[in-house]
Structure 1
Protein backbone atom coordinates (compact mmCIF):
# COMPACT_ATOMS: atom_id res chain seq x y z
CA UNK A 1 0.00 0.00 0.00
CA UNK A 2 2.85 2.42 0.83
CA UNK A 3 4.39 1.79 -2.57
CA UNK A 4 1.10 2.43 -4.39
CA UNK A 5 0.52 5.56 -2.30
CA UNK A 6 4.01 6.88 -3.14
CA UNK A 7 3.54 6.29 -6.85
CA UNK A 8 0.21 8.10 -6.70
CA UNK A 9 1.78 11.11 -5.01
CA UNK A 10 4.58 11.25 -7.59
CA UNK A 11 2.09 11.13 -10.45
CA UNK A 12 0.03 13.89 -8.84
CA UNK A 13 3.09 16.13 -8.41
CA UNK A 14 4.23 15.53 -11.99
CA UNK A 15 0.74 16.32 -13.25
CA UNK A 16 0.66 19.56 -11.25
CA UNK A 17 4.07 20.67 -12.51
CA UNK A 18 3.17 19.96 -16.11
CA UNK A 19 0.02 22.04 -15.84
CA UNK A 20 1.54 24.97 -13.93
CA UNK A 21 5.07 25.32 -15.22
CA UNK A 22 6.72 28.69 -14.74
CA UNK A 23 8.62 28.62 -18.02
CA UNK A 24 7.60 26.91 -21.24
CA UNK A 25 9.92 25.88 -24.04
CA UNK A 26 9.43 27.89 -27.18
CA UNK A 27 10.61 27.14 -30.72
CA UNK A 28 10.88 23.42 -30.00
CA UNK A 29 8.16 21.96 -32.19
CA UNK A 30 5.78 21.27 -29.29
CA UNK A 31 2.19 20.58 -30.36
CA UNK A 32 -1.08 21.05 -28.49
CA UNK A 33 -3.98 18.65 -28.13
CA UNK A 34 -5.52 20.10 -31.29
CA UNK A 35 -2.29 19.24 -33.18
CA UNK A 36 -1.46 22.91 -33.69
CA UNK A 37 2.14 23.96 -33.01
CA UNK A 38 2.48 25.61 -29.59
CA UNK A 39 3.68 29.19 -29.26
CA UNK A 40 4.80 30.10 -25.75
CA UNK A 41 3.63 33.48 -24.52
CA UNK A 42 5.47 35.02 -21.58
CA UNK A 43 3.33 37.26 -19.40
CA UNK A 44 3.12 38.95 -16.05
CA UNK A 45 0.31 38.41 -13.53
CA UNK A 46 -1.19 41.73 -14.59
CA UNK A 47 -4.95 42.19 -14.40
CA UNK A 48 -6.92 43.00 -16.55
CA UNK A 49 -4.47 41.92 -19.26
CA UNK A 50 -3.17 38.51 -18.17
CA UNK A 51 -4.10 36.77 -14.91
CA UNK A 52 -5.67 33.68 -13.34
CA UNK A 53 -9.42 33.77 -12.71
CA UNK A 54 -11.07 32.24 -9.63
CA UNK A 55 -11.16 28.84 -11.36
CA UNK A 56 -7.43 28.86 -12.06
CA UNK A 57 -7.79 29.60 -15.78
CA UNK A 58 -5.74 32.16 -17.68
CA UNK A 59 -7.83 35.12 -18.77
CA UNK A 60 -7.59 38.82 -19.55
CA UNK A 61 -7.53 41.20 -22.50
CA UNK A 62 -4.17 40.05 -23.84
CA UNK A 63 -4.93 36.38 -23.25
CA UNK A 64 -8.17 36.56 -25.23
CA UNK A 65 -6.55 38.54 -28.04
CA UNK A 66 -3.61 36.13 -28.18
CA UNK A 67 -5.86 33.08 -28.39
CA UNK A 68 -7.84 34.55 -31.26
CA UNK A 69 -4.87 35.98 -33.16
CA UNK A 70 -2.62 32.92 -32.88
CA UNK A 71 -5.53 30.64 -33.75
CA UNK A 72 -5.92 32.54 -37.02
CA UNK A 73 -2.18 32.07 -37.57
CA UNK A 74 -2.38 28.33 -36.96
CA UNK A 75 -0.83 28.26 -33.48
CA UNK A 76 -2.00 27.22 -30.03
CA UNK A 77 -0.79 29.72 -27.39
CA UNK A 78 0.65 28.46 -24.11
CA UNK A 79 0.72 31.14 -21.41
CA UNK A 80 3.41 31.15 -18.73
CA UNK A 81 4.04 33.63 -15.95
CA UNK A 82 7.62 34.87 -16.02
CA UNK A 83 9.91 36.90 -13.82
CA UNK A 84 9.36 40.25 -15.53
CA UNK A 85 12.95 41.32 -14.94
CA UNK A 86 14.17 38.32 -16.97
CA UNK A 87 11.88 38.82 -19.95
CA UNK A 88 14.55 39.81 -22.48
CA UNK A 89 16.84 36.91 -21.53
CA UNK A 90 13.97 34.42 -21.69
CA UNK A 91 13.25 35.56 -25.23
CA UNK A 92 16.89 35.33 -26.26
CA UNK A 93 17.24 31.84 -24.74
CA UNK A 94 14.11 30.56 -26.48
CA UNK A 95 12.29 29.84 -23.22
CA UNK A 96 9.39 31.91 -24.55
CA UNK A 97 8.43 32.93 -28.07
CA UNK A 98 7.02 36.35 -27.30
CA UNK A 99 6.02 38.75 -24.53
CA UNK A 100 2.35 39.73 -24.47
CA UNK A 101 1.27 41.41 -21.23
CA UNK A 102 0.40 45.12 -21.47
CA UNK A 103 3.94 45.66 -22.78
CA UNK A 104 4.77 49.23 -23.82
CA UNK A 105 6.48 49.45 -27.20
CA UNK A 106 6.80 53.28 -27.14
CA UNK A 107 10.49 54.23 -26.83
CA UNK A 108 11.43 50.54 -27.08
CA UNK A 109 10.90 50.22 -30.83
CA UNK A 110 14.50 49.09 -31.51
CA UNK A 111 14.82 46.66 -28.59
CA UNK A 112 12.54 43.95 -30.00
CA UNK A 113 10.80 42.77 -33.15
CA UNK A 114 7.32 44.13 -32.46
CA UNK A 115 3.81 43.13 -33.48
CA UNK A 116 1.27 45.92 -33.17
CA UNK A 117 0.45 48.35 -31.76
CA UNK A 118 -2.96 46.93 -30.91
CA UNK A 119 -4.04 49.17 -28.02
CA UNK A 120 -3.38 52.55 -26.42
CA UNK A 121 -2.69 53.13 -22.75
CA UNK A 122 -1.62 55.91 -20.42
CA UNK A 123 1.09 55.78 -17.80
CA UNK A 124 -0.26 57.71 -14.83
CA UNK A 125 0.40 58.70 -11.24
CA UNK A 126 -2.16 57.79 -8.57
CA UNK A 127 -2.43 59.11 -5.02
CA UNK A 128 -4.70 58.54 -2.05
CA UNK A 129 -8.00 60.41 -2.23
CA UNK A 130 -7.01 62.60 0.75
CA UNK A 131 -3.64 63.55 -0.75
CA UNK A 132 -2.73 67.19 -1.37
CA UNK A 133 -0.87 66.17 -4.55
CA UNK A 134 -2.75 67.54 -7.57
CA UNK A 135 -0.12 67.76 -10.34
CA UNK A 136 3.07 65.99 -11.33
CA UNK A 137 5.08 68.95 -10.06
CA UNK A 138 3.57 68.40 -6.60
CA UNK A 139 5.59 65.16 -6.44
CA UNK A 140 8.76 67.09 -5.61
CA UNK A 141 10.35 65.60 -2.51
CA UNK A 142 7.81 62.76 -2.38
CA UNK A 143 8.17 58.95 -2.30
CA UNK A 144 6.82 57.07 -5.34
CA UNK A 145 6.31 53.31 -5.83
CA UNK A 146 6.80 51.57 -9.19
CA UNK A 147 7.12 48.03 -10.49
CA UNK A 148 10.61 46.94 -11.56
CA UNK A 149 11.60 47.22 -15.24
CA UNK A 150 8.33 48.83 -16.33
CA UNK A 151 7.79 51.93 -18.43
CA UNK A 152 6.57 53.98 -15.43
CA UNK A 153 9.84 53.19 -13.65
CA UNK A 154 11.80 54.31 -16.73
CA UNK A 155 9.94 57.61 -16.80
CA UNK A 156 10.15 58.26 -13.06
CA UNK A 157 13.87 57.49 -12.91
CA UNK A 158 14.80 59.46 -16.03
CA UNK A 159 14.16 62.88 -14.49
CA UNK A 160 13.66 64.21 -18.01
CA UNK A 161 11.44 67.06 -16.88
CA UNK A 162 8.25 65.00 -16.67
CA UNK A 163 8.48 64.80 -12.89
CA UNK A 164 10.50 66.85 -10.39
CA UNK A 165 13.19 65.54 -8.06
CA UNK A 166 11.77 62.90 -5.73
CA UNK A 167 12.81 62.01 -2.23
CA UNK A 168 12.81 58.29 -3.01
CA UNK A 169 11.72 55.74 -5.59
CA UNK A 170 10.65 52.32 -4.31
CA UNK A 171 10.81 49.58 -6.96
CA UNK A 172 9.09 46.26 -6.28
CA UNK A 173 8.91 43.05 -8.26
CA UNK A 174 5.17 42.41 -7.92
CA UNK A 175 2.80 45.06 -9.23
CA UNK A 176 0.17 44.57 -6.51
CA UNK A 177 2.71 45.70 -3.91
CA UNK A 178 2.67 49.27 -5.23
CA UNK A 179 -1.05 49.50 -4.46
CA UNK A 180 -0.53 48.09 -0.97
CA UNK A 181 2.30 50.55 -0.27
CA UNK A 182 0.09 53.47 -1.29
CA UNK A 183 -3.02 52.30 0.55
CA UNK A 184 -0.97 51.86 3.76
CA UNK A 185 0.62 55.29 3.39
CA UNK A 186 4.19 54.02 3.00
CA UNK A 187 4.53 56.01 -0.22
CA UNK A 188 2.99 59.27 -1.41
CA UNK A 189 2.12 58.07 -4.91
CA UNK A 190 2.47 55.24 -7.40
CA UNK A 191 3.11 55.16 -11.14
CA UNK A 192 1.48 52.52 -13.35
CA UNK A 193 -0.75 51.85 -16.34
CA UNK A 194 -4.07 53.65 -15.94
CA UNK A 195 -5.92 50.42 -16.71
CA UNK A 196 -4.09 48.62 -13.90
CA UNK A 197 -5.08 51.29 -11.38
CA UNK A 198 -8.72 51.23 -12.50
CA UNK A 199 -8.86 47.43 -12.35
CA UNK A 200 -7.26 47.25 -8.90
CA UNK A 201 -9.74 49.73 -7.46
CA UNK A 202 -12.67 47.88 -9.02
CA UNK A 203 -11.60 44.48 -7.71
CA UNK A 204 -9.92 45.27 -4.39
CA UNK A 205 -11.79 48.17 -2.83
CA UNK A 206 -9.21 50.91 -2.04
CA UNK A 207 -9.91 54.14 -3.90
CA UNK A 208 -7.14 56.25 -5.37
CA UNK A 209 -7.16 59.45 -7.37
CA UNK A 210 -5.42 59.48 -10.75
CA UNK A 211 -3.74 62.76 -11.60
CA UNK A 212 -5.22 64.42 -14.68
CA UNK A 213 -1.81 64.91 -16.28
CA UNK A 214 -0.43 61.56 -17.50
CA UNK A 215 3.22 60.60 -17.40
CA UNK A 216 2.96 59.42 -20.99
CA UNK A 217 0.50 58.09 -23.57
CA UNK A 218 1.86 54.86 -25.03
CA UNK A 219 1.19 52.06 -27.50
CA UNK A 220 1.04 48.42 -26.42
CA UNK A 221 2.55 45.67 -28.54
CA UNK A 222 3.78 42.08 -28.63
CA UNK A 223 7.56 41.64 -28.40
CA UNK A 224 9.66 39.00 -30.18
CA UNK A 225 13.42 38.66 -29.87
CA UNK A 226 15.51 40.77 -32.24
CA UNK A 227 17.19 37.64 -33.60
CA UNK A 228 13.83 35.92 -34.33
CA UNK A 229 13.70 35.65 -38.12
CA UNK A 230 10.45 33.67 -38.43
CA UNK A 231 8.47 36.77 -39.36
CA UNK A 232 5.80 36.01 -36.78
CA UNK A 233 5.67 39.61 -35.61
CA UNK A 234 4.84 40.81 -39.13
CA UNK A 235 2.09 38.22 -39.60
CA UNK A 236 0.71 38.93 -36.13
CA UNK A 237 0.58 42.66 -36.90
CA UNK A 238 -1.55 41.90 -39.96
CA UNK A 239 -3.93 39.77 -37.88
CA UNK A 240 -4.18 42.37 -35.11
CA UNK A 241 -4.97 45.09 -37.65
CA UNK A 242 -7.70 42.87 -39.07
CA UNK A 243 -9.08 42.24 -35.57
CA UNK A 244 -9.21 45.98 -34.96
CA UNK A 245 -11.05 46.62 -38.23
CA UNK A 246 -13.67 43.93 -37.61
CA UNK A 247 -14.30 45.06 -34.03
CA UNK A 248 -12.80 42.04 -32.25
CA UNK A 249 -10.29 44.11 -30.26
CA UNK A 250 -13.00 46.50 -29.07
CA UNK A 251 -15.27 43.61 -28.05
CA UNK A 252 -12.52 42.00 -25.97
CA UNK A 253 -11.53 45.26 -24.26
CA UNK A 254 -15.20 45.97 -23.48
CA UNK A 255 -15.45 42.76 -21.46
CA UNK A 256 -12.83 44.06 -19.03
CA UNK A 257 -12.85 47.86 -19.18
CA UNK A 258 -15.48 50.58 -19.62
CA UNK A 259 -15.21 53.10 -22.45
CA UNK A 260 -13.24 50.75 -24.71
CA UNK A 261 -12.97 53.39 -27.45
CA UNK A 262 -10.38 55.38 -25.51
CA UNK A 263 -7.99 52.41 -25.62
CA UNK A 264 -8.29 51.78 -29.36
CA UNK A 265 -5.57 52.72 -31.78
CA UNK A 266 -6.35 55.76 -33.91
CA UNK A 267 -8.41 54.81 -36.93
CA UNK A 268 -10.02 51.80 -35.22
CA UNK A 269 -12.76 53.48 -33.19
CA UNK A 270 -15.51 51.45 -34.77
CA UNK A 271 -16.70 54.25 -37.05
Structure 2
Protein backbone atom coordinates (compact mmCIF):
# COMPACT_ATOMS: atom_id res chain seq x y z
CA UNK A 1 0.00 0.00 0.00
CA UNK A 2 2.84 2.39 0.87
CA UNK A 3 4.48 1.79 -2.51
CA UNK A 4 1.23 2.61 -4.30
CA UNK A 5 0.82 5.85 -2.28
CA UNK A 6 4.42 6.91 -3.05
CA UNK A 7 3.92 6.16 -6.74
CA UNK A 8 0.68 8.17 -6.77
CA UNK A 9 2.34 11.17 -5.10
CA UNK A 10 5.28 11.07 -7.53
CA UNK A 11 2.90 10.81 -10.48
CA UNK A 12 0.80 13.77 -9.32
CA UNK A 13 3.97 15.81 -8.68
CA UNK A 14 5.30 15.02 -12.15
CA UNK A 15 2.01 16.00 -13.81
CA UNK A 16 1.91 19.23 -11.80
CA UNK A 17 5.47 20.18 -12.76
CA UNK A 18 4.82 19.41 -16.42
CA UNK A 19 1.66 21.52 -16.33
CA UNK A 20 3.49 24.44 -14.73
CA UNK A 21 6.32 24.17 -17.26
CA UNK A 22 3.80 24.12 -20.08
CA UNK A 23 2.04 27.17 -18.67
CA UNK A 24 5.35 28.99 -18.31
CA UNK A 25 6.25 28.18 -21.91
CA UNK A 26 2.81 29.27 -23.09
CA UNK A 27 3.13 32.52 -21.13
CA UNK A 28 6.48 33.24 -22.79
CA UNK A 29 5.05 32.62 -26.25
CA UNK A 30 2.06 34.76 -25.39
CA UNK A 31 4.31 37.57 -24.11
CA UNK A 32 6.30 37.48 -27.36
CA UNK A 33 3.25 37.60 -29.60
CA UNK A 34 1.78 40.47 -27.59
CA UNK A 35 4.77 42.70 -28.30
CA UNK A 36 4.13 45.44 -30.88
CA UNK A 37 5.57 44.77 -34.33
CA UNK A 38 8.07 46.91 -36.21
CA UNK A 39 7.99 46.34 -39.97
CA UNK A 40 11.42 46.67 -41.55
CA UNK A 41 11.56 47.13 -45.31
CA UNK A 42 14.52 45.60 -47.11
CA UNK A 43 15.45 43.67 -50.22
CA UNK A 44 17.75 40.72 -50.82
CA UNK A 45 21.25 42.06 -50.13
CA UNK A 46 23.67 39.49 -48.65
CA UNK A 47 25.28 39.57 -46.15
CA UNK A 48 22.94 42.23 -44.72
CA UNK A 49 19.61 40.62 -45.54
CA UNK A 50 18.90 37.30 -47.25
CA UNK A 51 16.89 34.11 -46.78
CA UNK A 52 18.65 31.18 -45.10
CA UNK A 53 18.21 27.53 -46.08
CA UNK A 54 14.88 27.44 -44.23
CA UNK A 55 13.59 30.51 -46.06
CA UNK A 56 13.91 32.71 -42.96
CA UNK A 57 15.32 36.26 -43.25
CA UNK A 58 18.79 36.52 -41.76
CA UNK A 59 21.94 38.61 -42.09
CA UNK A 60 23.74 41.47 -40.38
CA UNK A 61 20.91 44.00 -40.55
CA UNK A 62 18.28 41.42 -39.63
CA UNK A 63 20.16 40.38 -36.50
CA UNK A 64 21.10 43.93 -35.47
CA UNK A 65 17.52 45.14 -35.92
CA UNK A 66 16.02 42.16 -34.10
CA UNK A 67 18.27 42.68 -31.10
CA UNK A 68 17.89 46.47 -30.98
CA UNK A 69 14.09 46.31 -31.15
CA UNK A 70 13.99 43.42 -28.67
CA UNK A 71 15.71 45.69 -26.16
CA UNK A 72 13.08 48.30 -26.92
CA UNK A 73 10.19 45.88 -26.32
CA UNK A 74 9.28 45.22 -29.95
CA UNK A 75 9.40 42.23 -32.27
CA UNK A 76 10.41 42.64 -35.89
CA UNK A 77 8.92 41.63 -39.21
CA UNK A 78 11.20 41.76 -42.26
CA UNK A 79 9.25 42.88 -45.31
CA UNK A 80 10.72 42.30 -48.77
CA UNK A 81 10.14 45.50 -50.74
CA UNK A 82 10.74 46.98 -54.14
CA UNK A 83 13.88 48.95 -53.26
CA UNK A 84 13.03 51.71 -55.72
CA UNK A 85 9.84 52.44 -53.76
CA UNK A 86 11.39 52.43 -50.28
CA UNK A 87 10.83 56.14 -49.57
CA UNK A 88 7.20 55.97 -50.65
CA UNK A 89 6.60 52.89 -48.47
CA UNK A 90 8.11 54.33 -45.30
CA UNK A 91 6.35 57.67 -45.72
CA UNK A 92 2.98 55.96 -46.24
CA UNK A 93 3.45 53.89 -43.07
CA UNK A 94 3.37 50.55 -44.87
CA UNK A 95 6.76 49.89 -43.29
CA UNK A 96 8.24 51.50 -40.17
CA UNK A 97 11.81 51.83 -41.36
CA UNK A 98 14.24 50.97 -44.13
CA UNK A 99 17.22 48.83 -43.19
CA UNK A 100 19.19 47.10 -45.92
CA UNK A 101 22.81 48.28 -46.09
CA UNK A 102 21.34 51.75 -46.62
CA UNK A 103 23.91 54.54 -47.06
CA UNK A 104 23.27 57.75 -45.14
CA UNK A 105 25.58 59.79 -47.37
CA UNK A 106 23.66 62.41 -49.34
CA UNK A 107 20.35 61.38 -47.75
CA UNK A 108 20.61 62.99 -44.32
CA UNK A 109 17.77 65.41 -45.05
CA UNK A 110 15.52 62.82 -46.68
CA UNK A 111 14.91 60.65 -43.62
CA UNK A 112 15.13 60.48 -39.84
CA UNK A 113 18.19 58.30 -39.15
CA UNK A 114 19.37 55.80 -36.55
CA UNK A 115 23.08 55.38 -37.08
CA UNK A 116 25.57 55.13 -38.57
CA UNK A 117 26.11 51.70 -37.08
CA UNK A 118 28.43 50.34 -39.79
CA UNK A 119 31.13 51.92 -41.99
CA UNK A 120 31.11 50.62 -45.56
CA UNK A 121 33.27 51.17 -48.64
CA UNK A 122 31.58 51.77 -51.97
CA UNK A 123 33.90 50.21 -54.54
CA UNK A 124 34.25 49.20 -58.19
CA UNK A 125 34.83 45.57 -59.19
CA UNK A 126 35.96 44.15 -62.54
CA UNK A 127 36.77 40.75 -63.99
CA UNK A 128 40.25 39.53 -63.04
CA UNK A 129 41.66 39.89 -66.58
CA UNK A 130 40.31 43.44 -66.99
CA UNK A 131 42.58 46.32 -68.03
CA UNK A 132 40.80 48.57 -65.53
CA UNK A 133 43.01 49.19 -62.50
CA UNK A 134 41.97 52.64 -61.27
CA UNK A 135 38.86 54.81 -61.44
CA UNK A 136 40.20 56.89 -64.34
CA UNK A 137 40.39 53.70 -66.44
CA UNK A 138 36.58 53.61 -66.43
CA UNK A 139 36.45 56.37 -69.07
CA UNK A 140 34.23 55.22 -71.92
CA UNK A 141 33.49 51.88 -70.22
CA UNK A 142 30.12 50.33 -69.39
CA UNK A 143 29.29 50.00 -65.69
CA UNK A 144 26.32 48.40 -63.89
CA UNK A 145 24.81 49.52 -60.57
CA UNK A 146 21.65 48.81 -58.61
CA UNK A 147 18.94 51.36 -59.34
CA UNK A 148 18.60 54.17 -56.74
CA UNK A 149 21.83 53.07 -55.03
CA UNK A 150 24.60 55.41 -53.89
CA UNK A 151 26.97 54.33 -56.74
CA UNK A 152 24.27 55.25 -59.25
CA UNK A 153 24.21 58.78 -57.84
CA UNK A 154 27.99 59.02 -57.83
CA UNK A 155 28.28 58.19 -61.52
CA UNK A 156 25.22 60.20 -62.59
CA UNK A 157 26.21 63.42 -60.81
CA UNK A 158 30.00 63.08 -61.24
CA UNK A 159 30.71 65.76 -58.63
CA UNK A 160 33.85 63.82 -57.68
CA UNK A 161 36.65 64.85 -60.06
CA UNK A 162 38.02 61.31 -59.98
CA UNK A 163 34.92 59.97 -61.73
CA UNK A 164 35.31 59.89 -65.54
CA UNK A 165 32.56 59.94 -68.13
CA UNK A 166 31.33 56.41 -68.78
CA UNK A 167 30.29 54.86 -72.06
CA UNK A 168 27.05 53.65 -70.46
CA UNK A 169 25.68 53.51 -66.92
CA UNK A 170 23.29 50.57 -66.62
CA UNK A 171 20.92 50.65 -63.63
CA UNK A 172 19.28 47.35 -62.69
CA UNK A 173 16.44 46.70 -60.26
CA UNK A 174 17.97 43.64 -58.55
CA UNK A 175 21.43 43.56 -57.03
CA UNK A 176 22.27 40.04 -58.24
CA UNK A 177 21.85 41.12 -61.86
CA UNK A 178 24.81 43.49 -61.83
CA UNK A 179 27.16 40.58 -61.07
CA UNK A 180 25.56 38.46 -63.78
CA UNK A 181 26.12 41.28 -66.27
CA UNK A 182 29.77 41.54 -65.23
CA UNK A 183 30.41 37.80 -65.31
CA UNK A 184 28.92 37.49 -68.79
CA UNK A 185 30.84 40.49 -70.10
CA UNK A 186 27.78 42.66 -70.73
CA UNK A 187 29.49 45.42 -68.72
CA UNK A 188 33.13 46.20 -67.93
CA UNK A 189 32.62 46.91 -64.24
CA UNK A 190 30.13 47.10 -61.36
CA UNK A 191 29.93 49.40 -58.36
CA UNK A 192 28.49 48.41 -54.98
CA UNK A 193 29.23 47.96 -51.30
CA UNK A 194 32.43 45.98 -50.86
CA UNK A 195 30.73 43.51 -48.50
CA UNK A 196 28.11 42.68 -51.11
CA UNK A 197 30.73 41.92 -53.74
CA UNK A 198 32.77 39.75 -51.36
CA UNK A 199 29.64 37.84 -50.30
CA UNK A 200 28.60 37.23 -53.89
CA UNK A 201 32.03 35.79 -54.72
CA UNK A 202 31.78 33.44 -51.75
CA UNK A 203 28.25 32.34 -52.56
CA UNK A 204 28.85 31.67 -56.25
CA UNK A 205 32.50 30.60 -56.13
CA UNK A 206 33.55 33.26 -58.59
CA UNK A 207 36.29 35.85 -58.56
CA UNK A 208 36.24 39.56 -59.35
CA UNK A 209 38.98 42.10 -58.71
CA UNK A 210 38.07 45.03 -56.48
CA UNK A 211 39.84 48.30 -57.28
CA UNK A 212 41.99 49.54 -54.41
CA UNK A 213 40.73 53.09 -54.80
CA UNK A 214 37.26 53.32 -53.19
CA UNK A 215 34.46 55.45 -54.58
CA UNK A 216 33.45 56.53 -51.09
CA UNK A 217 33.40 55.43 -47.46
CA UNK A 218 29.86 55.76 -46.14
CA UNK A 219 27.86 55.20 -42.97
CA UNK A 220 25.06 52.64 -42.93
CA UNK A 221 21.90 53.54 -41.02
CA UNK A 222 18.25 52.70 -40.43
CA UNK A 223 15.94 55.23 -42.10
CA UNK A 224 12.56 56.37 -40.76
CA UNK A 225 10.13 58.79 -42.36
CA UNK A 226 11.12 62.43 -41.87
CA UNK A 227 7.80 63.19 -40.12
CA UNK A 228 7.94 60.09 -37.86
CA UNK A 229 7.72 61.67 -34.39
CA UNK A 230 7.07 58.49 -32.39
CA UNK A 231 10.57 58.57 -30.90
CA UNK A 232 11.31 55.05 -32.13
CA UNK A 233 14.18 56.21 -34.33
CA UNK A 234 15.90 57.96 -31.42
CA UNK A 235 15.40 54.94 -29.16
CA UNK A 236 16.85 52.64 -31.80
CA UNK A 237 19.85 54.90 -32.22
CA UNK A 238 20.52 54.62 -28.49
CA UNK A 239 20.22 50.83 -28.56
CA UNK A 240 22.56 50.52 -31.55
CA UNK A 241 25.13 52.63 -29.72
CA UNK A 242 24.64 50.45 -26.65
CA UNK A 243 25.17 47.30 -28.73
CA UNK A 244 28.32 48.81 -30.23
CA UNK A 245 29.75 49.46 -26.77
CA UNK A 246 28.82 46.13 -25.18
CA UNK A 247 30.25 44.06 -28.06
CA UNK A 248 26.94 42.76 -29.42
CA UNK A 249 27.39 44.40 -32.82
CA UNK A 250 30.91 43.03 -33.20
CA UNK A 251 29.70 39.53 -32.32
CA UNK A 252 26.98 39.70 -34.97
CA UNK A 253 29.15 41.17 -37.74
CA UNK A 254 31.88 38.62 -37.03
CA UNK A 255 29.50 35.84 -38.07
CA UNK A 256 29.28 37.25 -41.60
CA UNK A 257 32.49 39.15 -42.40
CA UNK A 258 36.22 38.91 -41.91
CA UNK A 259 38.00 41.73 -40.07
CA UNK A 260 34.73 42.89 -38.45
CA UNK A 261 36.37 45.63 -36.36
CA UNK A 262 36.92 47.87 -39.40
CA UNK A 263 33.19 47.97 -40.10
CA UNK A 264 32.57 49.49 -36.68
CA UNK A 265 34.88 52.48 -37.22
CA UNK A 266 31.97 54.91 -37.53
CA UNK A 267 33.06 57.75 -35.24
CA UNK A 268 35.09 59.58 -37.91
CA UNK A 269 32.48 59.48 -40.67
CA UNK A 270 31.31 63.01 -39.90
CA UNK A 271 27.55 62.43 -39.50
TM-score (norm 2): 0.86
Root-mean-square deviation over aligned CA pairs: 1.4
Q: Which residue of 2 aligns with 1:18?
A: none
Q: Which residue of 2 aligns with 1:225?
A: 225
- Residues in 2 aligned to 1:74 and 1:261: alpha-carbon distance in whole angstroms: 28
Q: Which residue of 2 aligns with 1:91?
A: 90
- Residues in 2 aligned to 1:33 and 1:264: alpha-carbon distance in whole angstroms: 30
Cα distance per residue 1:176-225 (max 9 Å; x no partner): 00000000011000000000000000111120000000000000000000
Query: Which residues of 2 match residues 163-178 of structure 1 at below 5 A?
Result: 163-178=163-178
Q: Which residue of 2 aligns with 1:247?
A: 247
Q: Which residue of 2 aligns with 1:190?
A: 190
Query: Which residues of 2 match residues 107-122 of structure 1 at below 5 A?
Result: 107-122=106-121
Asked if 2 retains the 8 angstrom alpha-carbon contact of 1:32 and 1:38, the reply is: no
Query: Which residues of 2 match residues 1-271 of structure 1 at below 5 A?
Result: 34-160=33-159, 161-266=161-266
Asked if 2 retains the 8 angstrom alpha-carbon contact of 1:155 and 1:162, the reply is: no
Cα distance per residue 1:118-177 (max 9 Å; x no partner): 000000000000001000000000000000001111111111223100000111000000
The 3 A distance-change label for structure 1 pair 191 and 32 is: farther
- Residues in 2 aligned to 1:226 and 1:211: alpha-carbon distance in whole angstroms: 36
- Residues in 1 aligned to 2:266 and 2:133: alpha-carbon distance in whole angstroms: 29
Structure 2: unaligned runs, 5 residues or longer: 1-29
1:43 Cα offset (Å): 0.5
- Residues in 2 aligned to 1:147 and 1:32: alpha-carbon distance in whole angstroms: 40
Cα distance per residue 1:46-83 (max 9 Å; x no partner): 00001101110110000000110000001111001000
Partner SS for 1:157:
helix
Asked if 2 retains the 8 angstrom alpha-carbon contact of 1:143 and 1:188, the reply is: yes
1:266 Cα offset (Å): 4.0
TM-score (norm 1): 0.86
1:265 Cα offset (Å): 2.8
Alignment coverage as a number of residue pairs: 238
Return the structure number with greater helix share: 2
Asked if 1 retains the 8 angstrom alpha-carbon contact of 2:116 and 2:266, the reply is: no
Partner SS for 2:34:
coil
- Between stretches 157-166 and 170-179, larger displacement belongs to 157-166
